[in-house]
Amino acid sequence: MSPSFRYFSLLFLFFINNAFATPLAKVKVVLNRPALTDSIAIDVFKCYLSNIVISDSNYKNDLSPSNYHLLDFSNSDTIFLFVSPFANANSIEFNLGIDSIINSSGALGGQLDPSNGMYWTWQSGYINFKIEGSSPICTSRNHEFQFHAGGYAYPYNALKAFKFELQPNKPFHIEIDLALFFNMISLKNLDHVMSPGPNALKISKALASCFKIVEDEK
Amino acid sequence: MKNKLILLSVLLLCIAFVSINKNAFKYPKYFPKPVYALENNNRTEFKIELGRVLFYDPILSKDNSISCASCHNPYNAFAHVDHSLSHGINDKIGKRNAPVLFNLAWQKSFMWDGAINHLDVQALAPITHPDEMGETISNVLLKLNRSQSYKQLFYKAYGDSLINSERTLKSISQFLLSLISSNSRYDSMVLGKIKFNTKEQNGYRLFQLHCNTCHREPLFTDFTFQSNRLSIDTSLNDLGRYSVSLLPRDSFKFKVPTLRNIEFSYPYMHDGRFKTLAQVMNHYNSIGLINENILKELRKVMKLSSNEKVDLIAFLKTLTDKKFLFDAKHTYSKNNK
């Protein structure tokens, strides 16, 4: 079992590196304490970030074809993401989840290997993210909640696309504040999502609301 | 010297040509183009052999008791005979009847409800299903990696002995893709090699009138999801296509199955409720099947006489492909120990 992030306030760093591995800008993911009175313990938080593109006014740094990153917040090896940057980048784009083309491409390896546990075997498709844990608010067995979001076919395509503007030459990080996720869904009424459909869309929207770009102070 | 060189290059060319030809995916001219993207999974004899060994190996199940072939029997066109619902590890009973396995390169989606969208990922479903093989893919890889003979088979198929899920799954696909059934009496008739007898010919006429809209020639399915108005089995309450699409209009619809080798793939329907083709005929006759794809004025309620039922069954039996059913290349391999 992975560690339990009780009252999580963890910090994860993505370094955007140049060819010589000197950090130019960094992207970090922060999980803040949720603004809830009841406690929430998180056992699993995994998500796919894909199709990361960093651009300046005349150049796009598209990281394809292997631009699929599985982030597992219990395994620090997966948190590093190497991107060759350019100093005056002015925007970053990425998706939360896996696009429909990859979802219908059969057996793939690496980050997309179905043995990573982020693939639904009984109804083909990638799981865009997993959030699992427990809270006294949940009426389920052992007060557990288990959210697996995915689905690539219309009208239940759960992929979320982001585009953030960047200040040239300023270091930044991406922050994911899961408190907003738990504020948007009510754990009392919803503690399990395990397949594509309206609820998967709902929790995808909730997680998407947690992403923001923060400029680093310096 | 020069002559020898020319001779040598001609020889090499011939060998190259023969080996390319050997690996070509062959099918009859009157079949449509396959949908499986073969360019992403090159066909080779070694991959097919590896897939075949995996198909017959219970190593894919948790307690090493069940192989793919436990539910998909080669002598029954890879259907599960005698069981209306499939049986898995610890004698657990599934909720559906195991379908035939052939001509899969033409199929866009798999399972009775189309829940699987690509042949490569199909095997993951039975391997991980608790009522089927109850295993995890990571554990399968561990077991395969411990086996010296699999190391050799992977080496032959891929040029090194790395064993991962992509290679394992794609090899199983290669074996499944090699299962092509196109040598029935019907095929000989299409090719003009034989003529149907009067019963078969009359059955063919009735088939084209009443059945061909869904069970479309030459693959005998149009790959859509339809209802053939079976009564709902409340003990299973299987919603069919609805469970994938979540569209109310898809409730109780199932994939139109192929009718090739139907003589040998009993019991019939997604829940295996009919044991004989006569029962199937009686079902269609009792609902008075109406061909809804033709002009309203021409629509006719199907009302077959008993002779007509016999003729229709005689036609269905022309879809039996003995060469396929008893092909030694599809059975247990000498590499299965």
**Is there a single domain that holds both residue B158 and residue B231?**
no
Number of A/B CB contacts below 8 angstroms equals 66
Residues of B in contact with A153 (CB under 8 A): 245
Q: What is the pLDDT, as a whole number, of residue B8?
A: 60
Q: What is the pLDDT, as a whole number, of residue B46?
A: 96
Q: What is the pLDDT, as a whole number, of residue A124?
A: 93
pLDDT in tens, B82-107: 777 777 777 777 789 999 999 999 99
Which residue in A has a C-alpha nearest to residue B141's C-alpha?
A: A115
Q: What is the pLDDT, as a whole number, of residue A78?
A: 44
Q: In degrees, to the nearest 5, what angle opens at C-alpha A76 toward C-alphas A74 and A77?
A: 125
3-state SS, one letter per residue, for chain A: CCCCCCCCCCEEEEEEECCCCCEEEEEEEECCCCCCCCCCEEEEEEEEEEEEEEEECCEEEECCCCCEEEEECCCHHHHCCCCCCCCCCCEEEEEECCCHHHHCCCCCCHHHCHHHCCEECCCCEEEEEEEEEECCCCCCHHHEEEEEEECCCCCCCCCEEEEEECCCCCCEEEEECHHHHHHHCCCCCCCEECCCCHHHHHHHHHHHCCEEEEECCC
Dig out the tokens for B13 from the structure.
Answer: 């060319």
Maximum mean pLDDT: which of B41-50, B127-136, B227-236: B41-50
* Domain extent for B96: 32-180
Of B160, B180, B200, the residue at which a domain comes to its end is B180
**Is there a single domain that holds both residue B173 and residue B273?**
no
Torsion angles phi and psi, residue B57, rounded to 5 = -105, 120
Residues of B in contact with A104 (CB under 8 A): 117-118
Q: Residue B176, CB half-sphere, CA atoms under 13 Å: how many?
A: 27
Is A14:A28 a contact under the CB 8 Å cutoff?
yes
In chain B, positions 166-195, which contact chain A (CB-CB < 8 Å)? 166, 169-170, 173
Model confidence at B321: pLDDT above 80: yes
In chain B, positions 130-159, which contact chain A (CB-CB < 8 Å)? 136-138, 141
**Is there a single domain that holds both residue B154 and residue B233?**
no
**Is there a single domain that holds both residue B192 and residue B315?**
yes
Sign of CA dihedral B221, B223, B227, B231: positive
CA–CA dist B312, B206 (Å, integer): 7
Of B130, B218, B212, B122, nearest in space to B173 by CA? B122
CA distance B136 to chain A (A): 8
Look at A15-19, B77-81, B238-242 and tell me which has the smallest mean pLDDT: A15-19
> Is residue B240 very low, low, confident or very high in pLDDT (cuts 50, 70, 90)?
very high
In a domain, B105, yes or no: yes
**Is there a single domain that holds both residue B38 and residue B176?**
yes
Residue B116 CA: distances (Å) to CA of A124, B124, B129, B223: 5, 10, 13, 13
- In chain B, what is the straight-line distance between the N-terminal and C-terminal CA atoms, in Å? 49
DSSP SS3 for B290? strand
Q: What is the pLDDT, as a whole number, of residue A6?
A: 32
Q: What is the pLDDT, as a whole number, of residue B298?
A: 62
Is B194:B188 a contact under the CB 8 Å cutoff?
yes
pLDDT in tens, B188-224: 999 999 999 999 999 999 999 889 999 999 999 999 9
| Out of A104, A106, A122, closest to residue B115 by CB | A122
**Cβ <8 Å between B118 and A119:** no
**Is there a single domain that holds both residue B126 and residue B219?**
no
Residues of A in contact with B119 (CB under 8 A): 106
As a residue count, chain A comes to 218
Q: What is the pLDDT, as a whole number, of residue B284?
A: 92
Residues of B in contact with A106 (CB under 8 A): 37, 40-41, 118-121, 169-170, 173
Selected residue with higher pLDDT from A7 and B154: B154
**Is there a single domain that holds both residue B214 and residue B264?**
yes
CA–CA dist B61, B206 (Å, integer): 44
Residue A136 CA: distances (Å) to CA of A39, A199, B257: 7, 21, 48
Look at A1-10, B25-34, B111-120, B281-290 and tell me which has the smallest mean pLDDT: A1-10
| Out of A108, A114, A124, closest to residue B137 by CB | A114
CA distance A75 to chain B (A): 18
CA–CA dist B101, B68 (Å, integer): 11
**ipTM of this complex:** 0.82
Residues of chain A with pLDDT under 50: 1-27, 34, 37, 64, 77-80, 82-84
The mean of the pLDDT values for chain B is: 90
DSSP SS3 for B79? strand
**Is there a single domain that holds both residue B206 and residue B151?**
no
**Cβ <8 Å between B40 and A125:** no
Torsion angles phi and psi, residue A56, rounded to 5 = -115, -170
Q: What are the structural domain ranges in chain A? A: 3-215
Of B150, B180, B210, the residue at which a domain comes to its end is B180
Containing B10, the helix (H) or strand (E) segment is helix B2-23
pLDDT in tens, B63-76: 999 999 999 999 99
Share of chain B above pLDDT 70, in %: 91
In a domain, B118, yes or no: yes
| CATH number of the domain enclosing B204 | 1.10.760.10
**Is there a single domain that holds both residue B165 and residue B36?**
yes
CA–CA dist A156, A181 (Å, integer): 19
**Cβ <8 Å between A103 and B128:** no
CA–CA dist B237, B228 (Å, integer): 16
The whole model's pTM is what?
0.88
Tell me which residue has tokens 């982030």. A71
pLDDT in tens, B259-298: 999 999 999 999 999 999 999 999 998 887 776 666 666 6
Report, in angstroms and rounded to the nearest whole number, the Rg of chain B calculated over CA atoms.
22
Q: What is the pLDDT, as a whole number, of residue B236?
A: 85
| Out of A113, A121, A197, closest to residue B166 by CB | A113
When divided into structural domains, chain B yields a total of 2
